[in-house]
Each structure stands twice: as C-alpha cells, then as structure tokens.
Structure 1
C-alpha cells in the first residue's frame, strides 16, 4: 500500500468536496449561522410567548379574606408574584366584584372578549363543574360523567379563559374562624371549603397562566398562614416545625458540566454521522452517477489505496462538521445566557468544560467519526445512485438516533458491557467525563476498552468497504427495481443448492421477530413449579423450538434451495468428528460455567432475572418430572432445532463465497442474540464459535448436534445438583446460596486442563481447514497452468 497514492487521492477528493457548495454550506456556513439564528429565534419566541397576557377569572371574589387581601383594585396584588409588578402585568385578572367588570375589550387580549362575557362564561363553567362533581359523588353512569367532563374542557377552550378560580361560599368566614379561637369550642373543628382552580394542562396558554396564578396563590397562602398564627397567638416557629434548610454545594462549572453532558454527547454523535453522510454518498454513489468511477479504477492506485483516500476524506469532513457544530453551539449558548441577564446565567450556567474534558471530546470523536466514515463509505459504495445511497444510509441514521436517545437517559451510566457497544460506549464515556471532574479518574478505566473496541469496529467497517471495492459486481451493478411478482417467481424458479447471503440474514430476522412476538404469549405458560405447570412449561419450550427456530429454517430451505443435504449439512460424519464434538462439549462445559459466572460477578454483564433462575432451578430439580423428559426438552430439542437453523441454513448462506471466518463469527453472534438474556447471549455466542468451526471442519451437522446435546445435558445435570461430584477444594468447589440451592464450581486446575484440551482440538481443526484451503488453491493453480486435457482430468479428480 502506497501512502503517496493515498495522499494524492485524499487531496483530490478534498479539493472536489471543497468545490461543492453544498458540502461547504453543510460543514461551515450552516453551523456558524444555524445555532445563533436558532438560539435567537427560540429566545424571541419564548419571550414573546411569556410576555403575552393570560386571562384569569375569579368568581365569588367577595368571599376572599381581606387580611391579607389577595386582590386589589387593579386585580391580583403585585406582592404575591415572584417578579412583582412585571409578573402581575402578564395576567389579565377578571373578578366579579361590583363595578370591576369592564364592557370594553382591552387591546391584545385573547379572543377579544369583554370582562362581562368572560364572567358569564366562567359562571357557566362553574355550573357544569358542580354538575360533574355531583355526578361523581352519586356514582352515576361513567359515560355521563365523561360527557360532562368533555363539555367542560371544550367550553374552557372556547371561552377565552385560561384559568378559572372559584371561591366557595363561607370561605372568608371559615378563615376568620381559624384565625381566632373565640367562636370555636375545644371539641369543635373548623371546616374550610376548597378554593378550586380550573385549568387545562393540555393547553400551553392555560399551563402558563396556571403557573403564574399558582405562584401568587402559594405566596398568598404563606402570608395567610403567618397572619393566622399571629391572630391565634401561636408561635411563628410552628409554621415550619421541621426547620428545613436547603444547602447547594454544586459549583458553577459543575452546573455547566451537567448541561454540556446532556448536549455534547448527543450532538457529537449526530453531527459526526451527518458530516460523514453527504460526503460518503458523493464519493461513492456520486462517482458512479458522474461516470468518474471507471477513471479512478484504471489509475495506478490499488483498490485499497482508493478506499483509504476516500475514507480519510470522509473522516476529515466528519470530524470538522462535529467540531464546528459543537463550537458554534457552545459560543451561542454562552452569548445568549449573558444577553438574557444575570437571572438566566444563575439559572443555567453555561461555562465551557475544562481543557481535559475538551481533550477527551476530541480523542473520542476520532474513533466515532472513523466508524461512521467507514460505514457510510461502504453503504454508499454499494448504492448505484445517490438516491439509493440515501435509502441505505437513512436506516443507519435512525438506529444511531435511537442509541443516542438511550444514552441521554440520566439513569444510564457506562458499564463494562456498554464500554464495548458501538456508539453507546463513546457517548456514555463522554457524558461521564463531562458531568463532573471528581469522577473522571474512575471513568478513565473505561477509556481503553472504549477506544480499542471503537477502532476495532472502524477497522471491520473499513475492511467491508475495501471488500466492496474489490467486487466488480458491486461497483458496476445496475439500480435495482423491485417487482414482487418477479421476485417470487425467481425464488421458486432460480434455485441453487445452498441459500444466498440475503436469504440467510432474512431467516435470522424471521426467527428473531418470532421470538420477540412470542414473548408476550408465552409468559403465562412459564409461571409455576408444580408438576402440571412444569409439563406445560416444557411443552411451551418444545413448541417454541419447533415453530420459531426450526420451522422457518426448514421451510426456507425447502422453498429456496435445491439440496437440503447441502443446505443443512446432512452428511454422515466420521467417527473421529463425532468423538471430537463430544470431547469438545465435555471440555467446554466447565469453562462456559465459570466464564458466565465471572462476567456477572464482576459486573461485565447484568445478572439474569432471579425469578427466572429460581423457576428453572426448581423445574430441573423437580422429582415429579422424569429425567428423560427433562433431557428431551432441554438437550435433544435445542440440539436439533437450533443447529438446523444456525449451523445449517444460516451458516450455509453466510459461508457462500468461501468466507468461512466471517460466516462462523456472524452466525455465532446471531446465535447469541436470539437467547435474549445478556449472560446467556454471551455464553451462546462463545459456544457458537466452536459449533460453527466444528460444522465446517466435519462438513456435517451431526457433530455440532452432538456437541450441543452433550453440553446441554451436562448443564441440566449441573442444575440438578452437580453430577453427584463431591467438592474437594482442588478441582471442584461449591457455592451455597441456601440449604436447598447449591452450585458446583470448577477450580483453576480443572479449567486449565479443559482449556488446554480445547486449544489442542481447535488448533487441529483450524490446521486441517488451512491445509484443505492450500490444497484446493494448489489444485486450482495446477488446473489453470495445465493443458486443457490435463486440466479436465485434474478437475475430474483423475
């Protein structure tokens, strides 16, 4: 690989992108203009909305106490509002006191209604509300109550009233009775009727008005309480007997970090993807549309150099777009906070994060942008046109948005599991580092797995892009026109011995979808531990294996392929391969148990649900169920059904084209995913690697079935009490959860012996496969170099 060629291609692509006005607008002009304009617009709309007057109607105002008075001649007294007269001016208070109703319509009021009209509407609403409350107390027909409630909501929306305050009769008298004990005997209590406030929280105008009137009523209530205590000759301290004091220890920079920790991780993910989105389409599908792809391919540069040059160009624009957006957003937020005054600065501190946090932001941006750049380049290369490229990249954008929303949850923090999940790992680590400097040292331990895994995913995506560039069928394929009838006729007519890659992926999606849908309907059958319910649970498990795992694979094999023997590897195995499958299962079981326990005990994966574990444990240890039935359900059925699907149909489809390594890895990941529970998924994915290698090495499904059967049988006996093995403290030990619950554990000498044995058998299988590949390659070369007659003899195996 020539870095000189890569540099030339990189500079060429950068110059082409910089000549594109759309690219320049997206990465420079848009971030610089978008956030200031958006911020000013939002602030202006908020100010405009908050400055508008909202209408509050007070009925039966004469019944309000006069000490302290809630109302004045101009409406609600200014002193009850946090902002004083400024807040009071934002409310149009209409009261039914004599001489207060104004027949004229004030300028700028909602729906241009006079005080008299508003009071009339308020009384009608009060009458309806009284009917509704009476119906609720008498427990009348719920439909009638719902109808009255709907009428109240509709009339409130049409009345021009945002909040209706209804003062009950005798309210002032009851308050006065509370303020003095002269009219109340020792065994008599004062009943204070409820002052009711009607609002519509679904209406923003009503919600704003309610917030203002609630603050005023709360402040008035505090003053009324103080007056009541004074007149009743009670100690003022009794108003707040708990004597609470709120102490705030957060510094200004910590408050700012809390704000940035919610904004920066989401923005860095979205903007890094957006920055890679458009250049990738232009450098991939755009080259095909412009007809310049052929010119590039006949240049002296190799395909890998072309991909590297384009990848570096997309990476540059992805990083540049993210940084430009973050800087513009940060400076805009600071400027707007300072422009809105001291109150806004105190409420939301937007001081920039520390230099260390910003450094980590840039460091974590690089692998994230590399992953997005490689993925977008690969998808754009596969597309025939820019329109088709957008179709491929839009689902990627939707998935990334979903992962970003997940990371914004305050309850989600980085864990060993999340540190290796793409996109999530970077977002959560950056959120934690920005949140507070005091926790940074604890979080830095996750930096290595986050960076290593992120760069690893980037390399895989880049390898995929290079592989696509080496495929002439991808580079020069025509745009696909989907026709359902033509597609179905091709399925039934143009069959091949083994499934294609899309068919294998579709089979996995069908299995996963059926598993997801069945969770709701299977749950009632998975409750209970007695013999009857236990049998129903096992029947459900067998049905689930047959209908949701085996049937989709078998039906697709019958429908889409011409050779079930080749698709499902139904060849008679050798005795050595069967013994190897059994031996690998015996050696793998102790390692599987201890690795699963390790990842849970040390927090790498969450523990399985305790309820489910207890239920399965009781089911396995039940004496009412015969052992052969338990072995059939937990060992025989999964060994047949799951192997037909994953080492049969799916592995055959993924391995088409000779990519055995990729097929084994991907099929094992799929096998892990369908187990749903993280611990089981991790364990199944590791065992899936061995199962896939065993199936490919033996060219038969039966050794994999034997491995699966023996492994599940051992797990079943392990759950029933541990094979009757007595712990010796050297090779075996025991963990006691309770008198009835014990678990056999394998000590280090046992694990070392099993690990060595597995390593020897796996190394032998890999060596045999490599030797077969070398022999096949030599045969192809001999066939190519030999004369035609000799080549035919070689090809025929003579």
Structure 2
C-alpha cells in the first residue's frame, strides 16, 4: 500500500466533505453550540421556570372554618429556613360547593377536609394530580401541617411540664457526605455525558460516510476512481481516513465544548451552585477528560468503518440515510447504559461495543480507574476497528455490492407480472422476517398472554402462514423453495449425532451466561413454565415440539434461507446465508439468554437443510430438541435427566478435567456426525446450487 496514494485520496475526500454544508454543520457548529445551549441556557430556563412556579398563588378550600394558627403558618411559612419547598406566593382561601368539580376546573389547587375523630383532628388533603403543580402544593400543605403539629405538641408538653427535647428527641443524628465536589460533579456528568458524546460522534461520522460512499455513487465519480492505477485497499484507506478524521474532529470538538462549558459553569458562581458543582478543582478532571478523548476517538474510528460499510450498500444519498437509521438506533440504545445505576465496567461489559465506551467514560468521571479494564476497553475497540476495516475492504472488492442492482422485494410487483417459479431475494427474506417479528411482538405476545398454550399455537400458525402466502403471491416453486425432499437414513443419523454435540455445547454456554448474568435466571424459569403449560404431556409435545418443528423450519430453513442464498451460490455467499439465517432465528426468540444458544442451533439446522437438501432433517431434529426440554421438565427425577446432569458445569469453581472431557465429547460427536452427513451428499450440494 502506497502512503502517497492514500494521502492524495484522503485530501480529495476531505475537500469533498468540506464542500458539504450539512456535514460542516454537524461536525463543527453542532458540537460548539449544542452543549452551551443545553447546559447553560437549559439550566437558566429551568431556574426561571421554577421561580415563576413558586411565586404563583395557591388556592385552597376547606369543608369548615380552618384553624387560624394553621392559616398563619401556611401564609407566613415560619420554618422557611428548614423548608424544602418555599411557598413565596399568597395562599387564598376559597369557598366551593363541589370540590371535585373545582379541582377539575383548576379553581382550587387543594381541598382540605377537617374531621374530629377519636379526640384527634384529622386533615385529609384532596388534590388532582393531573392538574396544576400537584407536588408543590402537596409539599407546601404537608410542611405547614407538620409545623402546626409541632406547635401543638410544644403547647401540650408545656402544659404537662414536660421537656420536649428529652421525651421526643432522646437522640440526635446527622449524615455527612464525604464525597468531594469533583466526585459529585463526575457522578452527574458520568450518567449523561457518555450518551451525549456517543450521539455527537455518531452524527459526525454518518454524514461524511454517506458523502464518500453513496454521494460518490450518485455523482458518478466512484467508477472513475476504480479506473485509476490504485489498489482497492489504498482507496478504502484514503476514504476511511477522511471519514475517521471527520469523526475524530467532531469527537474532539464535543469534548472541548463540554470542557469549556464546564469551566464557564464553575466560574459563574450561582449557576455552578444550582448544578451542585461549586468549588470544583478543574485540574482533577484533566485525566478523565484525556481518557474520554482517547475512548471517544477510538469509538469514532469504529463508527466510521461501520457507517461506511452500511453506506456502501446504498445507491443514493437518500438510500444511505434510510440504511443508516437502524445503525443509529443500534448505537444509541446501548449508550443509555451509563444512566443505569447498578451497571458498572467489568470484565464482561468491557468487551461489549458502545457499552464499554459509555461505562469507561462514566467510571473515569467517577474517579474509578482500573488499569486492567481500561486496557481491555482500548484493546477491544482497536480489535473492532481492525475487523470493521477488514470488512469494509472485503465489501470494496465486491462489484455486486458497490455497483450491483439488487432486486427489490417482489411484493411491490403485480402478481400477473411475476413469472411462475420465481424465487424470493434477500429483500424478500428481510421483509418477511420484519413482518414476522412485528407480528410476534405485537400479536403473538397478546394472544399467548390471553390464551396460554392455545395462543402459542396461534402464534405458530402465523409463523407458517406468512411464508406460504408470500410464496404463493410471488408464484414460487414450493418444492424448491422449501427443500421438500425425503431424507436418507444417514442424513437423520448424522444430523442427530451433530445435534448431540451441539446440545451439550449450548447447555454449557447457557450455564456460562447464567453465571455471568444471574439476574436473568427468571427467563429460564419462565421458559420452563411455558414448556410445561399443560399437565397433559401430549398437548405440550404437540404445541411446543411438533408445531415449532414444522412452522419455524418452514419460515427460516425454508423461505428465509432460500431467499438469502438465491442471489448467489458461491461458497462464501452460502456460508453467509447459513449464518445470517441462524442469527435471525436466534433474535426471533428475543430473550437475552436464549439469543446465543438458539442462534447456534439455527446455524446448525440451516446447515442440515443445505447439506442434505431436505427440510425434514432440521424439522425432525428441532422436534427432538424441544421434546428433550419438555421431558426433562416433566420428569426431573428420571434416570435420563439425572444423567444429563453430567453436562452441568459449576463456573464458580469449574472442574477443568470435566470441562475438557465435555469439549472433547462435543468435538467427537460433531466430527462423526459431519462425516456421516458427508457420505453421499456431495452430488446433492451441486443439485441444490443448480
């Protein structure tokens, strides 16, 4: 790779980026103006709003003539120094006939019903929480009543000649906050700042990525670049450096803008006190700021590569904006983790993309710096950068991706214009999966909650009807689409042996996930309840084993896999189709603990249908897999279930010897099963490709 060529491409791309006013606005103007407006102007607006609220009059109605002393306390607020709610407005006493109607029409803020009961006076406060400043009015009345009660206690004790201090306050206590002002400020910033920085960097990377990829296609200059005597890697690196530089510049401006805003807040007296940031030593925030810059710059490099990968699929600027929206959502959601109190940076979260950046910034702002965890975050993000750039360079080597005219989904075409025997494309598979996921969440969850096991059967019916109706509409050949072919005995035997090894593997993985995330054990328990929803085991087998084995396989190993492998029959494309189908199968199960195990199962089942050419193989093994789970739950004390206890691993104190035996057993079973599957299936693979 020639550095001079890369440098020239970098310059060319930077000039193109800087010509776009929208990109300049997102890179420079937004970071410089956004944070001062949010933090300074926002605080002042809230302060003025609160001030105007507490200066408003409060209108109160009573069911009887109120006690004069209580009214004086309410109006004068004698305990103002200790009061958490200062009522500076006037308290007006209003007479009403119907207090409910008066509260509804906001004629009064509260209605107090005074009753004499058991030689005590009971004050009942009626309010309408949907109207007016409910909390302020209630707090004001409670404080006034507490003060009135204290006055009555003092008078009664004085009459009896008793010492209030000795009787009612035999002990004194106070809390002392030892946190430094810098730590308090870091705690506040640590929750909000990571999210703001992630979003700022995301916006700074997206627009340059769209311009250098989709924008170049739309202008028709990308083809010209490929005619030059330069390699694809040089072109990729030049473009990537330009996008990364833009994103890193945005990241630096984000941190600089926030830093300068913090300096302004600290030096502006009253505003700093309002935010709880008085007397902060800015020098103590230098290390957190430097670490934040390093982290956010690495994150900018990752986002740049991912954004370029996504934008390379688009054919126009508008398409790229549509494609990048899901990426924004996928990045934004994990960045919220900094706002969750109990989630901290540890060995697991330090390798999760986006999450590790948010939690690392939060931890350094809280002055919790673990060198090992910081190193893991930096190393993992460097690894993500390398992987992203490698993926990007692979995509640049594909003319189908850069210049191909991908087939739009067939549902847009009139049925009369579709040729008989047509097969779905990738867009059809993604469309059907999206529709299925939406129906599962919005319809399936409701019918399952209302009808139990019957609802589960209805959900499975929806899952199988979707691909069948879609295939009918586009006039597909059902036999070819769904791989309908009787399997050989060796296909069933080989598939079962492979499944045995995979079954052990996914059980170990599930146990490891439960060990890492013990708080999600309820998911396993809820799943077991679902599997044993009926006392009749035959009904359980029908609804939880037979129906999913048929319906889910037709949906995924039938329609979705056929759609993904239809565009290209190369080995790499088939492998991608198998993995993608399996992962989508895992995500359809939604529960966090089930995504990884079911994705692995999905990949294995998809490989079975590819290798054997028959959907009946994964159908049967899917049925066997679910049946084992049902029988294990129904007969926990059986000898078979007790035997399965051998695959349990205590990850708190793991038995290394037992773990090695299990790994060896997995390898042997998978190897033997694949060997059996390979016998006589070489010609079948060629037949499938045709």
Name the TM-score class by shorter chain: 0.7 to 0.9
SS of the equivalent of 1:192 reads strand
**In 2: Cα distance, 1:775 partner to 1:68 partner:** 92
Alignment of 1:348-367 (within 5 A): 348=277, 354-367=285-298
Question: Structure 1 residues 33 and 775 mapped into 2: Cα distance closer, same or farther (>3 Å)?
Answer: same
Instruction: Say which of 66, 88, 92 aligns to 1:91.
Output: 88
Q: 2:575: which partner in 1?
A: 661
Question: In 2, Cα distance between the equivalents of 1:710 and 1:59?
Answer: 71
Q: Which residue of 1 aligns with 2:654?
A: none
Correspondence for 2:639 among 721, 724, 729: 724
Give 1:679's match in structure 2, choosing from 585, 593, 603. 593
Against the structure 1 CA distance between its residues 388 and 635, is the aligned structure 2 distance closer, same or farther, given a 3 Å change threshold? closer
1:369 corresponds to: 300
Contact 1:56 1:93 in 2 (8 A): yes
Name the residue aligned to 1:54: 56
**How far has the Cα of 1:70 moved from its partner?**
3.3
| 29-38 or 58-67, which deviates more | 58-67
Going from structure 1 to structure 2, the CA distance change for 1:228 and 1:288 (only over 3 Å counts) comes to: farther
1:615 and 1:608 map into 2 onto residues whose CA distance is 11
Instruction: Establish whether residue 756 from structure 1 lines up as the match of residue 667 from structure 2.
Output: yes
Given that residues 344 and 363 in structure 2 are in contact (C-alpha distance below 8 angstroms), is that contact kept between their aligned partners in structure 1? yes
Residue 679 of structure 1, CA deviation = 2.9
- Specify the alignment match of 1:426 in structure 2: 357
How many angstroms does 1:316 deviate by? 1.9
CA deviation profile, 1:722-767 (whole Å, cap 9, x unmatched) = 76349699x948899xxxxxxxxx9547524422314524775999
Match of 1:279 in 2: 208
Aligned in 2, Cα 1:342/1:229: closer, same or farther, shift over 3 Å?
farther
Preserved contact between residue 106 and residue 131 of structure 2 (Cα < 8 Å): no
Q: Deviations over 1:561-584 (max 9, x none)?
A: 532222222234444333211221
Which of 298, 312, 337 is the aligned partner of 2:227?
298
Cα distance in 1 for partners of 2:429, 2:18 equals 42
2:101 is the alignment partner of 1:153 = no
The residue correspondences of 1:297-336 to structure 2 (distance < 5 A) are 297-336=226-265
**Which of 196, 205, 214 is matched with 1:267 structurally?**
196
1:712 aligned residue (615, 618, 626)? 626
Picking from 550, 572, 575, the partner of 1:640 is 550
Secondary structure (helix, strand or coil) at the match of 1:203 reads coil
Structure 1 residue 358 displacement after superposition: 3.7
Residue 499, structure 1, aligned to residue 424, structure 2: yes
Structure 1 stretch displaced more, 457-466 or 300-309 = 457-466
Instruction: Please say if residues 68 and 224 of structure 1, whose CA atoms lie closer than 8 Å, have aligned partners that are also in contact.
Output: no
What is the deviation of 1:489? 0.8
Corresponding residue number in structure 1 for 2:497: 583
- For 2:411 and 2:466, the matched residues in 1 are separated by 22
* Distance of 1:618 and 1:26 partners within structure 2: 54
Aligned to 2:311: 380
**Which residue in 2 is equivalent to 1:741?**
none
Distance 2:246 2:211 in 1: 12
When residues 491 and 244 of structure 1 are mapped into structure 2, their CA distance, relative to the original with a 3 A threshold, is: farther
Distance 1:723 1:560, change over 3 A: farther
1:684, distance to aligned residue in structure 2 (A): 1.4
C-alpha distance after superposition, 1:40-83 (max 9, x if no partner): 43344344434544224578999655699638xxx636x53239
Q: Flag structure 2 segments of 5+ consecutive residues without an equivalent.
A: 651-656
CA contact (8 A) 1:378 1:465 kept: yes
The one-character-per-residue Cα deviations of 1:388-419 (angstroms, maximum 9, x if unpaired) are: 43333344434544444465233555677766
- Name the SS for the 2:123 alignment partner: coil
The structural deviation recorded for 1:193 is 5.4
| Residues 690, 457 of structure 1: alpha-carbon distance in 2 compared, 3 angstrom cutoff | farther
- Greater CA drift, 233-242 or 408-417: 408-417
Is the 2:560–2:581 contact (alpha carbons within 8 Å) kept by the matching residues of 1?
Answer: yes
In structure 2, C-alpha distance between the alignment counterparts of 1:769 and 1:270, rounded to whole Å: 54
| Equivalent-residue separation in structure 1 for 2:243 and 2:231 (angstroms) | 19
Shift in CA distance, 446/39, structure 1 to aligned 2, threshold 3 Å:
closer
* Post-superposition offset of 1:225: 4.9
Cα deviations by residue, 1:98-150 (Å, 9 ceiling, x for unpaired)? xxxxxxxxxxxxxxxxxxxxxxxx53xx313xx33xxxxxxxxxxxxxxx43x
Matched-pair contact (CA < 8 Å) for 2:410–2:424: no
Report the alpha carbon displacement of residue 348 of structure 1 after superposing the two structures with TM. Answer: 3.8
Written as runs of structure 1 = structure 2, the 5 A alignment for 1:15-30 is: 15-18=15-18, 20-30=20-30
Aligned residue-pair number: 670
**Deviation at 1:257?**
1.8
Q: Gapped runs of 5+ residues in structure 1? A: 96-121, 133-147, 175-187, 527-536, 737-745, 781-794
Aligned to 1:144: none
Distance 1:506 1:618, change over 3 A: closer
SS of the residue corresponding to residue 476 of structure 2 reads coil
Indicate conservation of the 8 Å contact 1:697/1:768, yes or no: no
Contact 2:350 2:373 in 1 (8 A): no
Asked if residue 652 in structure 1 is aligned to residue 562 in structure 2, the reply is yes
What is the deviation of 1:600?
Answer: 1.3
**Structure 1 pair 496–502 and aligned structure 2 pair: CA distance change class (3 A):** farther
How far apart are 1:324 and its partner, in Å?
Answer: 1.5
TM-score by length of 1: 0.71
Contact (CA 8 Å) 1:380, 1:392: kept in 2 or not? yes
For the 8 Å contact 2:57–2:91, the answer to whether it is kept is yes
| Residues 701-738 of structure 1 deviation map (CA, whole Å, 9 limit, x = unaligned) | 23333433443344444443476349699x948899xx
- Which of 587, 594, 602 is residue 688 of structure 1 equivalent to? 602
Return the offset for 1:503.
1.0
- CA–CA distance in structure 2, aligned partners of residues 363 and 769 of structure 1: 56
Whole-Å Cα distance in 1 between the matches of residues 643 and 402 of structure 2? 63
Q: State the 1:452 CA deviation.
A: 6.3
Distance 2:273 2:317 in 1: 45
Match status 1:35 vs 2:32: no
Aligned twin of 1:568: 482
Contact 2:103 2:127 (C-alpha < 8 Å) held by counterparts? no
Aligned-pair CA distance for 1:608: 4.1
1:262 shift after superposition = 1.0
Supply the RMSD in Å over aligned alpha carbons: 4.6
Deviation at 1:37, TM superposition (A): 4.4
Is 1:703 the counterpart of 2:613? The answer is no
Judging changes above 3 Å, is the alpha-carbon distance between structure 1 residues 476 and 705 closer, same or farther for their aligned structure 2 residues?
closer
Q: 1:391 aligns with which of 303, 315, 322?
A: 322
**CA drift at 1:648:** 1.8
* 8 Å contact from structure 2 (residues 510, 593) kept in 1: yes
**In structure 2, what is the Cα distance between the partners aligned to 1:696 and 1:65?**
88
SS in structure 1 opposite 2:96?
helix
Structure 1 residues 589 and 165 mapped into 2: Cα distance closer, same or farther (>3 Å)?
A: closer
Offset of 1:669 from its aligned partner? 0.9
Deviation at 1:601, TM superposition (A): 3.0
- How far apart are 1:266 and its partner, in Å? 0.6
